[in-house]
Amino acid sequence: MTTGATPARSTVAYFSMEICLEQAIPTYSGGLGVLAGDTLRSAADLGVPLIAVTLLHRKGYFVQHLDAYGQQSESPVHWKPEAELERLDARGTVTIEGRAVQVAVWKYEVTGVRGHVVPVFLLDTMVDGNGEWDRTLTDCLYGGDEHYRLCQEIVLGMGGASVLQALGYDNGVIYHLNEGHSALLTLQLLERQLDSRQHFELNDADLEAVRQRCVFTTHTPVPAGHDKFPLTMVRTVLGDERVALLRVCGGIHEGMLNMTHLSLHLTRFVNGVAMRHREVSRGMFPQSPINSITNGVHAVTWASPAFAALYDKRVPEWRRDNLYLRYSVSIPLEEIRDAHAESKRAILAEVFRRTGTKLDPSVMTIGFARRATPYKRADLIFSDVDRLATIARKIGKMQIIFGGKAHPRDGGGKELIKRIFAADERLQGLVEVVYLENYEMALAQQLVAGVDLWLNNPMKPLEASGTSGMKAAINGVPSFSVLDGWWVEGHVEGVTGWSIGGPEAEGDPSRDALDLYIKLERVILPLFYGLPFAYAEVMRSAIALNGSFFNTQRMVRQYVHNAYFPEHLPSDVRIEETALL
Ligand SMILES: *Cc1c(COP(=O)(O)O)cnc(C)c1O
């Protein structure tokens, strides 16, 4: 519930390098940004007093072009912040290499089902008076070199804290670091705590005061994925005094500024994004108590029009309270099949519109879309194309729809896309393969809902959570996935979908491909073609068991009660717990 014009005293400030607000605002690259957007949408639905901070990313995350061989090239996205956002008068400042850099701010509003608003502040250094190069700092998401990245993270963390103060958010704010990119905001808070004292006067009470105001979500299951910067660079950019302060508070690790270590030392609550991810993170950081809050997706955003209409008819409470999706067990299987057929028609029409390829609505359609990067192994299903062709001939046809951008500098990811194009050549129509350009929010909405099976086979343990399988589940699409990330919790064999490989945390790549073929051949395709109503039962269970749990409504409630306000809700905070009034 909104409490009027002035911001509530208790406020959660959610910091994220990327946020997927809507299709027309290209300020995200993938899973992290989509999760951030879904978090805000659910926080708005529940009336959580939350505000968000991110960067404007004027050049957007690029437009992807694929030639006939799958070779990717990129161009900037043209979008107009002034058409989508409101420019505010408030300004913040940061100091970079001794220069004062002005940080301007734009506002977007996420409005929940009951009208509660979550404001999002997008930071912008394209300001008159800033130097030429400083003006580009909020242009490119994950662009530029290490030095650019460090300066960007200063704008996000320190500039964000400075802008919030200018906007009147200070006392009573809990800061949520969504991944370590914004960790330097803790430095800003420490400096405020020190006031005019020197870094060597910093004491435990100061550190604890900052810690009490910050929570941290880590998303990365391998040490190589954690952001770090060489000290010489940090010294040049931030100055000796700040490096000394970072050292005192534990942000320097093995001679580098390590954003994860900084975050771990200066927050009072830390969580991984799935049960398995917590175990993996505890292995990496045995000194830190790491909790777990499994990711989710915003159900209303990701349900296809056909399924949304079906839920409105059969479990109408689902919009306000996603737990009601559990009652999908009572939806007749024919209605599940009809809603799915409609979703499938929509994605096949989109495939035709984009590529001119006519896919067959009666054929088992497999979806695979995510960031094109080697560990996701998009081409695992093509490890043995002859075998795949034989299965198609013997048991039933398949068609596979791929999507996903490779980061402009991810050579391995770009090769992966080319290998998929090459496999299509070799399969000669026995298994139809299409690769769709520009896998973004709107395409994802159609794709996760319209295929018959959602395939996911990353190298373990590299998938912290994964969320596209959760979007599929909301639409009754079963997952076929390695047991990593969220699927360790969401998988009930033959009930919500199927596993690839065994339950151990480290995978066996050769066995994964073998298992994939065996299960397609002996279990999944025979069920799909031979027992369509049994297949629809798996679809229905995916909704009832997984749709009802792997949503951001449940997730945000867990953040509220475990991370933001673990003791009790402050008197000025009222969270909607249920739709039952
Ligand atoms: C959901 C989503 C992702 C993340 O999917 P994962 O399964 O976590 O890899 C990436 N990009 C888009 C556009 C999405 O909608």
Query: Residue 430 pLDDT > 90, yes or no?
Result: no
pLDDT tens-digit readout, 343-401? 999 999 999 999 999 999 999 999 999 999 999 999 999 999 999 999 999 999 999 99
Decide if 147 is inside a domain. Answer: yes
392 and 286 inside one domain: no
The number of folded domains in the chain is: 2
Residue 44 neighbours by CB under 8 Å, 6+ apart? 50, 110, 111, 112, 113, 116, 117, 118
**Residue type at position 231:** L
Q: Are 126 and 58 in contact (CB under 8 A)?
A: yes
311 and 167 inside one domain: no
Decide if 558 is inside a domain. Answer: no
CB-neighbour burial class of residue 334 (10 A; exposed 0-12, middle 13-18, buried 19+): exposed
Atom of ligand 1 nearest to the CA of 31: 4
- β-bridge mates for residue 72, sequence order: 66
- Which pLDDT belongs to residue 501? 94
Q: Rounded to an integer, what distance in angstroms lies between the CA atom of residue 370 and that of residue 523?
A: 25
Pairing of strands 50-55, 11-16: parallel
Decide if 569 is inside a domain. Answer: no
Q: Rounded to an integer, what distance in angstroms lies between the CA atom of residue 342 and that of residue 522?
A: 28
Is the CB of residue 373 below 6 angstroms from any atom belonging to ligand 1?
Answer: no
**Residue type at position 332:** P
- Mean pLDDT over 175-202 rounds to 94
269 and 385 inside one domain: no
- Which pLDDT belongs to residue 208? 97
Decide if 560 is inside a domain. Answer: no
Residue 137 Cα to ligand 1 middle (Å): 26
- Mean pLDDT over 70-94 rounds to 96
Decide if 458 is inside a domain. Answer: yes
Query: Residue 507 pLDDT > 80, yes or no?
Result: no
Among protein residues, the one whose CA lies closest to atom 12 of ligand 1: 30
Of the listed ranges 98-107, 215-224, 252-261, 397-406, the one predicted with least confidence: 215-224
- Return phi, psi of residue 226, to 5°: -85, 135
- Mean pLDDT over 454-476 rounds to 96
Pocket test for ligand 1, best of 77, 468, 480, 550 (most atoms within 8 A of CB): 468
Decide if 561 is inside a domain. Answer: no
Cα dihedral sign, 295-301-304-307: positive
81 and 204 inside one domain: yes
The alpha helices in 172-215, defined as continuous H runs, are 185-194, 204-211
User: How far separated are the first and last CA of the chain, in Å rounded?
Assistant: 14
Among protein residues, the one whose CA lies closest to atom 8 of ligand 1: 466
- Mean pLDDT over 483-509 rounds to 93
Query: Residue 133 pLDDT > 80, yes or no?
Result: yes
Q: Are 108 and 84 in contact (CB under 8 A)?
A: yes
236 and 88 inside one domain: yes
447 and 482 inside one domain: yes
Q: Rounded to an integer, what distance in angstroms lies between the CA atom of residue 51 and that of residue 157?
A: 14
pLDDT tens-digit readout, 17-39? 999 999 999 999 999 999 999 99
What angle (nearest 5°) sits at the alpha carbon of residue 367, between those of residues 485 and 326?
60
Is the CB of residue 467 below 6 angstroms from any atom belonging to ligand 1?
Answer: yes
- Which pLDDT belongs to residue 577? 67
**Predicted confidence band at 578 (pLDDT cuts at 50, 70, 90)?**
low
131 and 261 inside one domain: yes
Decide if 527 is inside a domain. Answer: yes
User: Which of 244, 270, 292 is a domain's end point?
Assistant: 292
60 and 80 inside one domain: yes
Atom of ligand 1 nearest to the CA of 439: 13
Q: What CATH number is attached to the domain comprising 143?
A: 3.40.50.2000
User: Which of 292, 307, 336 is a domain's end point?
Assistant: 292
Among protein residues, the one whose CA lies closest to atom 4 of ligand 1: 31
Residues spanned by the domain of 329: 299-548
pLDDT tens-digit readout, 402-421? 999 999 999 999 999 999 99
- Which pLDDT belongs to residue 463? 93
- Mean pLDDT over 76-99 rounds to 96
Decide if 570 is inside a domain. Answer: no
Q: Rounded to an integer, what distance in angstroms lies between the CA atom of residue 352 and that of residue 482?
A: 30
- Mean pLDDT over 1-11 rounds to 57
pTM score, two decimals? 0.96
Beta strand spans in 218-316 (E): 228-230, 252-253, 256-258, 269-272, 291-292
**Predicted confidence band at 198 (pLDDT cuts at 50, 70, 90)?**
confident
Residue 437 Cα to ligand 1 middle (Å): 14
Count CA within 13 A, CB hemisphere, residue 459: 10
Among protein residues, the one whose CA lies closest to atom 9 of ligand 1: 370
- Which pLDDT belongs to residue 245? 94
Query: Residue 508 pLDDT > 90, yes or no?
Result: no
- Mean pLDDT over 156-162 rounds to 98
Q: How many residues can be counted in the chain?
A: 581
Is the CB of residue 28 below 6 angstroms from any atom belonging to ligand 1?
Answer: no
Residue 521 neighbours by CB under 8 Å, 6+ apart? 391, 394, 395
Of the listed ranges 1-5, 233-237, 375-379, the one predicted with least confidence: 1-5
Name which of 205, 157, 201 is nearest 178 in CA terms. Answer: 157
303 and 281 inside one domain: no
Is the CB of residue 439 below 6 angstroms from any atom belonging to ligand 1?
Answer: yes
Q: Rounded to an integer, what distance in angstroms lies between the CA atom of residue 363 and that of residue 386?
A: 19
370 and 394 inside one domain: yes
Q: Are 186 and 259 in contact (CB under 8 A)?
A: no
Q: Token pair of 500, please? A: 């690839």
Among protein residues, the one whose CA lies closest to atom 11 of ligand 1: 30
Q: Token pair of 167, please? A: 């906007």
> What is the pLDDT of the chain when averaged over all its residues?
95
Integer angstrom CA distances of residue 299 from 31, 45, 93, 325, 579: 16, 11, 38, 10, 15
229 and 310 inside one domain: no
- Which pLDDT belongs to residue 579? 43
Is the CB of residue 30 below 6 angstroms from any atom belonging to ligand 1?
Answer: yes
User: Which of 292, 322, 342 is a domain's end point?
Assistant: 292
- Which pLDDT belongs to residue 580? 40
254 and 367 inside one domain: no
Pairing of strands 50-55, 497-500: unpaired
Top pLDDT among 170 and 493 is at: 493
